[in-house]
A and B are shown apart, each in its own frame.
Chain A
Amino acid sequence: MKALHKLVEERVKPNFTGEGKLKRFWVVFDALETFLFTPGHTTAKGVHVRDGIDLKRTMFLVILAMVPALLFGTWNIGHQYYLSLGDITAADPWNAMLFDKLIVGAIKVVPLIVVSYATGLGIEFVIAGMNGHAINEGFLVSGMLIPLIMPVDVPLWMVAVATAFAVLIAKEVFGGTGMNILNVALTARAFLFFAYPKQMSGEIWIHDVMASKAGGVLADGYTGATALGHLANTVGQPVQGEVSNGVMAMFADGGLFSLMNCFIGTIPGSVAETSALAALIGAAILIWTGIGSWRIISSFIVGGLVMGVIFNQLGLNAYMTIGPVHQIVMGGFMFGAVFMATDPVSAAQTNTGKWIYGFLGGFFSIMIRVFNPAYPEGVMMAILFMNVMAPTIDHYVIEANVRRREKRLTAAVA
């Protein structure tokens, strides 16, 4: 470590400082140096204590919390692939082929991560260089979240375009890290959803399912649609009709989308969103380290449950009859609640505001998903919508507090 430090300080750094040859690339050096060593910054005036948990460590812990979802997602891609080929059966997910599954998953996931980071960090480096800012770690989490919420077989150039759009339009335009109104990763997902609807729906959730179908090796009865995709078909159908019964059979115990399978996550879906369990492990890490807001996560889940119960009571179509717990373990609900809604920049800032923000987010997620089959993944829409509403919520929470204190003051004076 000492030798490395000496090398950086004496050989590399002078090139980038003062009149060094590479001083135009100071931001690049600065960013990479802080990866190796804690910067020697001290406060110039005022309070002299610097918080040990800075942006980099915050970001790192969030990435750590995503690792269970990432690993499970990687395994699940392989699992679904072999399931689609009929090599294994859904009844016994924990059979052999662990490494085969992980390898298939890694072949799909690693390029997604590389493309997302390369595009996003490339843009960040260029913009920071143009503005003379230091590069910060803001993109580390977004760059990891983007691949995790992509369909498995999405074309890589689309990921690059969406990442570029999200970083530029959702973040840099507003002033970079910490200034964005919308969640960057969800903006990328929403961009893809609206820009390339053909590639973002249908047979993209399972690796190579199109080729398998064309080659005639697809397992019997395997469609590769997600849980929400199947359920969307029941909207507008009678509760006990043929279509509804067929779909609901998959959601009963022993079906592909049984409560247990949805909770563990052995179902088709975006890369890492399928497992509610992995998301909850992530939630535990985030809440334990104090990085994710437990208020948002819990109220988000409560909001989803409440909407689920309301739909149960209505029971107008088969989709509504799904149990509330089953509703919130399907699709990206849990992943969204833990990693998207808690984004400290775009969420509400006040504690009361966080309860409202989370509750409405969960509430609308289930509502959008059931009411509008054209948007099977309501979580994305709901969180983006609540991102936009968050400043308004905060405004009224603060106003209410001001009024309450004013009343107390006048009462005390009188």
Chain B
Amino acid sequence: MSTETTTAVEKKESLFSKKNRKLLTDPLDDSNPITVQVLGICSALAITVQVQQAVIMSLAVLFVMIGGNVIVSLMRNIIPDRIRIIVQLVVIASLVIIVDEVLKAYSPDISEKLSVFVGLIITNCIIMGRLEAFALGNKPGPAMLDAVGNAMGYAWILLAVALVREVFGSGAISFPGMGQVKFLPDSWFYANGGFYENNNLMILPPMALVTVGVIIWIQRARNRSLIEEN
């Protein structure tokens, strides 16, 4: 399906024209869905305790976003305006159910850890937002790029936050398929007469918020045009 749409777009405009490339790169930085638009915060706070959950969550969101954006973009001319939200919801919900079932089948333990948050992808504002703001008015090719860009923008924040939280909160690193690897020697910890202790606050959601806040701080210190005037 994607090859067909790609050739259709290429007739007028290259899929990787400068404008389309911006669709891919903008969400990574200047219009990042989490740090600039402040969407999808709930899942970013809830599932960033371990990197492996963040990776799986990012992949799930990537899949749902690409699917949703392309499908809605293909149907954009036949969706009646009045019921478009319901149609979008049906599309997203079907995709989320696919993700949920696949996760349950192939990686039940991570599925258990992500618990309701896979199901809650349906209500992830980033996805609804991109469908409303982009897919409904654009061809499938750019819609796909937009989906990839935004999903990646979501993913790198998630991974960055999860990395900080897991390293300082659990003294470990995890990756899907690899499990969690504790890299600090046991003898470092107070329980074994050492001098170190993991930061328990990192495991609690408030620290995820603070970590996202620090990323926002750094981003706005680098790019002052992002600072709101009041």
User: CB distance B213 to A173 under 8 Å?
Assistant: yes
Q: Are B195 and A195 interface neighbours, CB within 8 A?
A: no
Across-interface contacts of A158 in B (CB, < 8 A): 197
Question: Range of interface residues on chain A?
Answer: 10 to 19
Which of B190, B195, B201 is A191 in contact with, Cβ under 8 Å?
B201
The reply to whether A198 and B210 form a contact with Cβ atoms under 8 Å apart is: no
B residues within 8 A CB of A194? 200-201, 204
Minimal beta-carbon separation of A356 from chain B (angstroms)? 26
**CB–CB A195/B213 < 8 A:** no
Which A residues are CB-close (under 8 A) to B200? Answer: 194-197
Task: Name which residue of chain B comes closest to A193, CB basis.
Answer: B201
Q: Is the CB of B195 within 8 A of A155?
A: yes
- Across the A-B interface, the 9 shortest Cβ-Cβ residue pairs: A195-B201, A194-B201, A195-B199, A196-B197, A195-B200, A197-B200, A169-B210, A199-B197, A173-B217
Determine if B143 is an interface residue (Cβ-Cβ < 8 Å).
Answer: no
CB-CB < 8 A to A35: which residues of B? none
Set B197, B204, B214: member contacting A198, Cβ < 8 A = B197
Asked if B55 is an interface residue, CB under 8 A from chain A, the answer is no
The residues in B between 192 and 207 inclusive whose CB is less than 8 angstroms from any CB of A are 195, 197, 199-202, 204
Which secondary structure dominates where chain B touches chain A?
A: helix
Q: Is A385 an interface residue (CB 8 A)?
A: no
> Min CB distance, A203 to chain B, in Å?
12
A135 to B111, CA, bound (A): 51
Closest to A172 in B: B217
- Can you list 25 contacts pairing A with B, beta carbon distance less than 8 Å? A155-B195, A157-B195, A158-B197, A161-B199, A169-B210, A169-B213, A169-B214, A173-B213, A173-B217, A191-B201, A194-B200, A194-B201, A194-B204, A195-B199, A195-B200, A195-B201, A195-B202, A196-B197, A196-B199, A196-B200, A197-B200, A198-B190, A198-B197, A199-B190, A199-B197
Query: Which residues on A are within 8 Å of B, measured CB to CB?
Result: 155, 157-158, 161, 169, 173, 191, 194-199
| Nearest CB of B to A342, in Å | 26
* 17 extra A-B contacts, CB within 8 A, seeds A155-B195, A169-B213: A158-B197, A169-B210, A169-B214, A173-B213, A191-B201, A194-B200, A194-B201, A194-B204, A195-B199, A195-B200, A195-B201, A195-B202, A196-B197, A196-B200, A197-B200, A198-B190, A198-B197
Complex-state Cα separation, A38 to B202, whole angstroms: 44
Contacts of B199 in A (CB 8 A): 161, 195-196
State the Cβ distance, B211 to closest chain A Cβ, in Å. Answer: 10
Q: How far is the CB of B93 from chain A (nearest CB, A)?
A: 37
Chain A residue nearest in CB terms to B197: A196
Alpha-carbon separation in the docked complex, A191 to B200 (Å): 10
Contacts of B217 in A (CB 8 A): 173
Q: Within 8 Å CB of A197, what residues of B? A: 200
Smallest CB gap from B199: residue in A = A195
Q: Give the complex CA separation of A196 and B191 in angstroms.
A: 13
Residues of B within 8 A of A199 (CB): 190, 197
Give, as a whole number of angstroms, the nearest-CB distance from B153 to chain A: 23
Residue of B nearest to A173 (CB): B217
Chain A residues whose C-beta falls within 8 Å of the C-beta of B190 in the assembled complex: 198-199
**Distance of A371 from chain B, by nearest CB (Å):** 21
Contacting residues, chain B, for A155 (C-beta < 8 A): 195
Task: Compute how far the CA of A43 lies from the CA of B201 in the bound complex, rounded to whole angstroms.
Answer: 46
Which residues of the partner chain A approach B204 to less than 8 Å between Cβ atoms?
A: 194
B residues near A169, Cβ cutoff 8 Å: 210, 213-214
Which residue of chain B has its CB nearest to the CB of A199? B197
Provide the residues of chain A in CB contact with B213, threshold 8 Å.
169, 173
A260 to chain B, nearest CB (A): 36
- In the complex, what's the smallest C-beta–C-beta distance from B165 to chain A, in angstroms? 12
